[in-house]
Structure 1
């Protein structure tokens, strides 16, 4: 990105279908030698952090469109990386040695704390939007609640099947998807009493649920899968809303799907190297982004502050609109 194509702030431009249709890749990065397995924008939108199967953590400057820094986690590997609320810190799961979650100082590349407990691969990791609480879910069929300030697990839930989980935008409740067939809502202050609501859904026979996210306005719960469907349900009553299809996932990958910051649109990667976008309310496909990705697009997220989309396979792409809104 040159000084002429810095991403505009969203307040300067409205995210509408005509603007989305003009998005093109402004910058591509090819530093990684293996799949980028997760990405996360900082809350102020100024930086993006990624983790990769090549054991590297890369931090990007979103305003300048440059790579700021690369850190390595050769011993433990790195997956599911997330910024915390403190500057220059992140948490991530490990894909080597053990299934410990690690709290990392990005400033000096040193671990602040370790969170032991899971006995199999961690497949869900998410920070509370309001404080130092975070959730982790594992193939050991448990979900654990943690606080960054303590190495001790704050809460433990035993489940059936692979769990997916996330906090609502206000950080007061969290949702847990269980066995690819039900969503349970828990109050963070009394989760040990069990869910206050359970939404039963028709079980996906062809695929597994691999991720769950609330829309930024808190009205929709989206569930993405390792198959060719993405589900949305009403976050208050569990009513099925949309089943999004059209993207390709013929490799059984957990391809990330994400909301736009205004909750209007949903984006997903695809094993055909393209990015698909739907209207979150109608379920209609809005646009297909023709990308330079040669491999399945594992990660897609929209910047929370700037008019910018990022997508990743082995390479990282930054997308911005090419015309100003009239």
Structure 2
């Protein structure tokens, strides 16, 4: 099941001593988990609030739980009837919410102890494309191919509210949990709402049409794969599945940099695609301090790191500051919310640690 160096409690606890800036270049795969069948793809990764457990879903309809400190898989829960995508820990670390890929388009809340479902959340009539959990409450937002955004509370199976928008395929909470960003691919825009007044018009709209025309003309209006605020709330990442990634000022929507360096597609579909590729959740993410973006390089095995404190060139292009050697494609990626540790996946799942075992304070 696994090989590579250990991911020990000592390694993890030692990471309290240094900042990401001191260790970012030294990340290396420390653990690899291989699926029982090599034709299965991992489609989502997520960590619990404490960073001690990770949940994955895959196109084999299995939800897997990993103990980060022990560096091992601890539970597999099949969801053969309903399928599983976008598996997310709630703030209760033994509960996982996931989207369905079969039978219907409900969300399902799974209890990991009993391996039974606590609650279904029905309301979407087409595939769910993104799930975002509030950092500060049990509120959840889901986006769907049915052109709706639904707001839920985990304590009730009925939606608290809905928005009807054009292609609202990605959503993200800001770190304060007071603002939600919704990416509308077909309109090339990101809409910002006050979460307490989501039924009102957005208080700001970021128009990316001119940026797409300049940097991603062949995929304008499609192929967005990721929407994420940095932890300091200053930047907004709009990831794409081929050309690179947009870094926007989270307050004004102006382009800060376009991250280049990718060599082709990561092999994952954007939230809506007719290519037949397996789904994913984006192949780039912020580090904990918001200074770096770590991501895949398309069909090349190296992982890329962009330093947002470096000045882009006059055309706002920002090259990677370093490449991290890898032997597998990075199709999806997540940074641990507490530890200086990264998980990436395609068919195999990799745990990345700094070689010296240092961790984020």
**Normalised-by-shorter TM-score class:** over 0.9
Contact 2:149 2:168 in 1 (8 A): no
Q: In structure 1, what is the equivalent of residue 269 of structure 2?
A: 253
Of 34, 43, 47, 1:41 maps to 47
> Secondary structure of 1:274's match?
strand
Contact 2:189 2:206 in 1 (8 A): yes
The 5-angstrom pairing of residues 237-252 of structure 1 reads 237-250=252-265, 251=267
Q: Structure 2 CA distance, aligned partners of 1:260 and 1:67?
A: 24
Of 312, 315, 318, 2:348 maps to 315
Q: In structure 2, what is the equivalent of residue 267 of structure 1?
A: 294
1:23 deviates by 1.5
**Greater Cα shift, 279-288 or 261-270:** 279-288
RMSD of the TM alignment (CA)?
A: 1.8
Give the direction of change, closer, same or farther, for the CA distance of 1:122–1:324 in structure 2 (3 Å limit). Answer: closer
Report the count of equivalent residues: 322
- 1:125 equivalenced with 2:125 (yes/no): no
- 1:24 equivalenced with 2:28 (yes/no): yes
Contact 2:49 2:93 in 1 (8 A): no
Runs of 5+ unmatched residues, structure 1: none
Q: Structure 2 CA distance, aligned partners of 1:49 and 1:299?
A: 13
Q: In structure 1, what is the equivalent of residue 120 of structure 2?
A: 114
1:4 deviates by 8.3
Q: In structure 2, what is the equivalent of residue 229 of structure 1?
A: 244
Runs of 5+ unmatched residues, structure 2: 1-5, 271-281, 311-317
TM-score (norm 1): 0.93
Of 157, 168, 182, 2:163 maps to 157
Q: Structure 1 CA distance, aligned partners of 2:159 and 2:14?
A: 39
Q: Structure 1 CA distance, aligned partners of 2:147 and 2:268?
A: 20
Q: Structure 1 CA distance, aligned partners of 2:230 and 2:101?
A: 29
TM-score (norm 2): 0.84
Q: In structure 1, what is the equivalent of residue 207 of structure 2?
A: 200
Contact 1:10 1:305 in 2 (8 A): no
Q: Structure 1 CA distance, aligned partners of 2:14 and 2:269?
A: 32
